Chains A and B, each alone.
Chain A
Amino acid sequence: MSSLTHAPAAGSPRELARRFLSVPSAVIALVVFVLFCVVGFGAPLIAPQNPYDLRQVDILDSLMPPGSQSYTGLTYWLGTDGQGRDMLSAMLYGIRISLIVGLLSGFLALVIGTFVGLIAAYRRGWVDTLLMRIVDLQLSFPTILVALILLVILGRGVDKIIFALVVVQWAYFARTVRGVALVEGAREYVDAARGLRLSGMRILFRHILPNCLPTILVVATVQMAMAISLEATLSFLGLGLPPTRPSLGLLIANGFDYLQSGRYWISVLPGIVLLGIIISANVLGDRLRDILNPRL
């Protein structure tokens, strides 16, 4: 009596993955990004040298160009920096910390922002107005400024920079999620759920939220790229991460003074890597947005 369409459901994970990968740039970006993640998180295992272990670092080996050898037989594939740290190892650890900070702060901002956005959209009235005015306030300050001030006050540390990044990012999530939640909340299936006397929280988190996920996902990828970039900027300025845990930004900063004397590898190589991470994250976000948007 009832017949079914047998094509894979539009919107099923398999169908979405197929469309996502149908554009070469998306495939490349995905591969590059995954590669960065793998080497970054695997840094302790694959780095030739632990650049934070002072016993492994020899100041006599400082400022050696790429390809040179240390007296212990270790090849400095990408040269060394001013302290004698192997650039390759330092960059691997740098990728690691940049990704951790970026992903973690992005994720926390997502959770907080989504929660605020959902509550604002569902409660409407003065709750909505209050929350959105706070969001507006937050968004009207330049992100760099707020992060700077916070880090100056808080000092250095991984937790502190994550905190600062969450503070400057959550508002953007809140506003976007509120918008999507308002649209979804106006749909008839929400009326049906209310008619079935399901509780407000259940409707919000089990009915509305899942339908907001595509948009949240797209915003998250874009924001993550921004978080990584922001962290690099702050580290470059000497804030946030301690010098004992150099992120890519700090590495770039450290090498800045040597650029003029031709020792490019200390700044430029980390810069290229940073660029690669951000671009691949952005391309992924763009592609996600493309396939998730024109859904009929």
Chain B
Amino acid sequence: MTSEAILSVRNVTKRFGGRGDFIARGLSRIGLAQPNAVVHAVEDVSFDLHKGEVLGVVGESGCGKSTLGRMVAGLLDPSEGEIIAKASGANTGALPMQMIFQDPFSSLNPRKRVFDLIGEAPRVHGIVPSEKLDAYVADMMERCGVDGNYRDRFAHQFSGGQRQRIGIARALAVRPEILVCDEAVSALDVSIQAQIVNLFMDLRDELGLTYIFISHDLGVVEHISDRILVMYLGRIVESGPAQQIFADPQHPYTRALIDGVPRLERRRTVYAPIIGDIPSPIDPPKGCHFHPRCPLAQLQCKVERPALRDIGGGRQAACHLIETTAKKEFSIG
């Protein structure tokens, strides 16, 4: 799918902590206190997002995918680097990006009626004139599968799946081009998850939306994504078309991740998992972040950070060994 890039992320880095208030800084300057630990949440991430695609972002705890999502959605500012959104400017007042949150129970204001939840932003930003607002809100709700007559109700009167739908309607109401879904289906039951995943796909077809789909659930990501980014401890370790990555992962971490995911068809598997714990983003390993757990680690991996390089077919990977080995079969465990 070659279409224009509507979002460019260039060398984005995000660090948390490290400064503290002025008392803490003063104390650490005279040596009486430790400076606050710095969390390297996201490190030097670059990618393009193309119109109409679903970009899946996967990784485990501490990989930075949520932080990246928040930066793209404008909720956090990067410490370094830039995020360039090339909005096509078709709608005045429209916001280019919106975020769908994980927890349907805390992402809706318990004190507001559904009508206010969905209608406040379009009204404030002048997207819809006030006389048309009522019908607009009802329409948004129906599109997302919630009966528009319930717009006078409060959020807690709905189920988890319905609340998630209301959250989606709220995001759609400001006519975004890009939706950042941060674990948007993870808190839902399996059968409700299927409904919401289908809804996402329907909305993409109807409204021409572009998605960044962040999730730890590889099955869902594989199902819905066109391309994926695999992240580990703040860095992208592999990227490319979803189908290819799932069929033939190149990076050892991606390999371990995909092989380790339980699948319905795999019965009575003998799990041969990857060893070791996920390191903390406060003190990541030097060189390649993955080397302490990588069965193929070489001396170079401990010292030098591998850059994200093209490995053909629209794919990129950050591993020293991929270039030096053509078609070596990786066996792990």
**In the complex, are there CB atoms of A and B closer than 8 Å?**
yes
A residues in contact (CB < 8 Å) with B: 1-2, 4-5, 9-11, 126, 129, 187-189, 191-198, 202, 207, 210-211
| Residue B124 is within 8 A (CB to CB) of chain A in the complex | yes
> Which residue, of A4, A188, A194, A195, has the highest number of chain B Cβ atoms within 10 A?
A195
Please tell me if the beta carbons of A197 and B145 are within 8 angstroms of each other in the complex.
no
- Give chain A residues whose Cβ lies under 8 Å from the Cβ of B95: 196-197
Please tell me if the beta carbons of B156 and A9 are within 8 angstroms of each other in the complex.
yes
| Residue B106 is within 8 A (CB to CB) of chain A in the complex | yes
Please tell me if the beta carbons of B75 and A195 are within 8 angstroms of each other in the complex.
yes
B121's contact among A2, A187, A196, by CB below 8 Å, is which?
A: A196
Residues of B68-97 contacting chain A, CB below 8 A:
70, 73-75, 95, 97
Please tell me if the beta carbons of B121 and A207 are within 8 angstroms of each other in the complex.
no
Please tell me if the beta carbons of A4 and B158 are within 8 angstroms of each other in the complex.
yes
Least Cβ–Cβ distance between B220 and chain A, in angstroms = 20
Please tell me if the beta carbons of B75 and A189 are within 8 angstroms of each other in the complex.
no
Tell me the nearest residue of chain A to B73, going by C-beta. Answer: A195
| Residue B134 is within 8 A (CB to CB) of chain A in the complex | no
How many angstroms from the CA of A1 to the CA of B74 in the assembled complex? 34
Please tell me if the beta carbons of A189 and B124 are within 8 angstroms of each other in the complex.
no
8 contacts between A and B (CB under 8 A): A9-B157, A191-B70, A195-B99, A196-B98, A197-B121, A210-B111, A210-B112, A211-B109
Please tell me if the beta carbons of A4 and B75 are within 8 angstroms of each other in the complex.
no
Tell me the nearest residue of chain A to B21, going by C-beta. Answer: A129
**Lowest 4 A-B CB distances belong to which pairs?**
A188-B107, A196-B121, A210-B111, A189-B109
B162's contact among A2, A197, A198, by CB below 8 Å, is which?
A: A2
Tell me the nearest residue of chain A to B95, going by C-beta. Answer: A197
Least Cβ–Cβ distance between A82 and chain B, in angstroms = 54
Tell me the nearest residue of chain A to B107, going by C-beta. Answer: A188
B residues in contact (CB < 8 Å) with A: 21-22, 70, 73-75, 95, 97-99, 101-103, 106-112, 120-121, 124-125, 145-147, 150, 153-154, 156-158, 162, 167, 170, 174
Least Cβ–Cβ distance between B155 and chain A, in angstroms = 9
- Give chain B residues whose Cβ lies under 8 Å from the Cβ of A2: 145-147, 150, 158, 162
Please tell me if the beta carbons of A4 and B174 are within 8 angstroms of each other in the complex.
no
B101's contact among A126, A191, A196, A197, by CB below 8 Å, is which?
A: A191
How many angstroms from the CA of A11 to the CA of B73 in the assembled complex? 32
Please tell me if the beta carbons of A207 and B109 are within 8 angstroms of each other in the complex.
yes
How many angstroms from the CA of A192 to the CA of B167 in the assembled complex? 9
Please tell me if the beta carbons of B146 and A192 are within 8 angstroms of each other in the complex.
no
- Give chain B residues whose Cβ lies under 8 Å from the Cβ of A202: 124
Known: A189-B108, A196-B174. A11 touches B156 (CB 8 A): yes
B75's contact among A5, A10, A191, A211, by CB below 8 Å, is which?
A: A191
How many angstroms from the CA of A92 to the CA of B320 in the assembled complex? 88
> Which residue, of A192, A194, A197, has the highest number of chain B Cβ atoms within 10 A?
A192
- Give chain A residues whose Cβ lies under 8 Å from the Cβ of B106: 187-189
Please tell me if the beta carbons of B110 and A192 are within 8 angstroms of each other in the complex.
no
Please tell me if the beta carbons of B157 and A4 are within 8 angstroms of each other in the complex.
yes
Least Cβ–Cβ distance between A191 and chain B, in angstroms = 6
How many angstroms from the CA of A126 to the CA of B74 in the assembled complex? 23
- Give chain B residues whose Cβ lies under 8 Å from the Cβ of A192: 99, 101, 107-108, 167, 170
Least Cβ–Cβ distance between B118 and chain A, in angstroms = 10
Please tell me if the beta carbons of A195 and B98 are within 8 angstroms of each other in the complex.
yes
Please tell me if the beta carbons of B107 and A189 are within 8 angstroms of each other in the complex.
yes
Please tell me if the beta carbons of A1 and B147 are within 8 angstroms of each other in the complex.
yes
Please tell me if the beta carbons of A10 and B156 are within 8 angstroms of each other in the complex.
yes
Least Cβ–Cβ distance between B137 and chain A, in angstroms = 14
Please tell me if the beta carbons of A188 and B101 are within 8 angstroms of each other in the complex.
yes
- Give chain A residues whose Cβ lies under 8 Å from the Cβ of B162: 2
Tell me the nearest residue of chain B to A212, going by C-beta. Answer: B111
Please tell me if the beta carbons of B110 and A211 are within 8 angstroms of each other in the complex.
yes
- Give chain B residues whose Cβ lies under 8 Å from the Cβ of A11: 110, 156
> Which residue, of B73, B99, B102, B145, has the highest number of chain A Cβ atoms within 10 A?
B99
> Which residue, of A129, A188, A198, has the highest number of chain B Cβ atoms within 10 A?
A188
Least Cβ–Cβ distance between A211 and chain B, in angstroms = 6
Kindly list 6 other residue pairs between chains A and B, CB separation below 8 angstroms, not including A129-B21, A195-B99, A196-B95.
Answer: A2-B158, A126-B22, A129-B22, A188-B103, A191-B70, A192-B101
Least Cβ–Cβ distance between B7 and chain A, in angstroms = 15
- Give chain A residues whose Cβ lies under 8 Å from the Cβ of B146: 1-2
How many angstroms from the CA of A4 to the CA of B149 in the assembled complex? 11
- Give chain A residues whose Cβ lies under 8 Å from the Cβ of B109: 189, 193, 207, 210-211
How many angstroms from the CA of A114 to the CA of B145 in the assembled complex? 39
- Give chain B residues whose Cβ lies under 8 Å from the Cβ of A196: 95, 98, 120-121, 170, 174
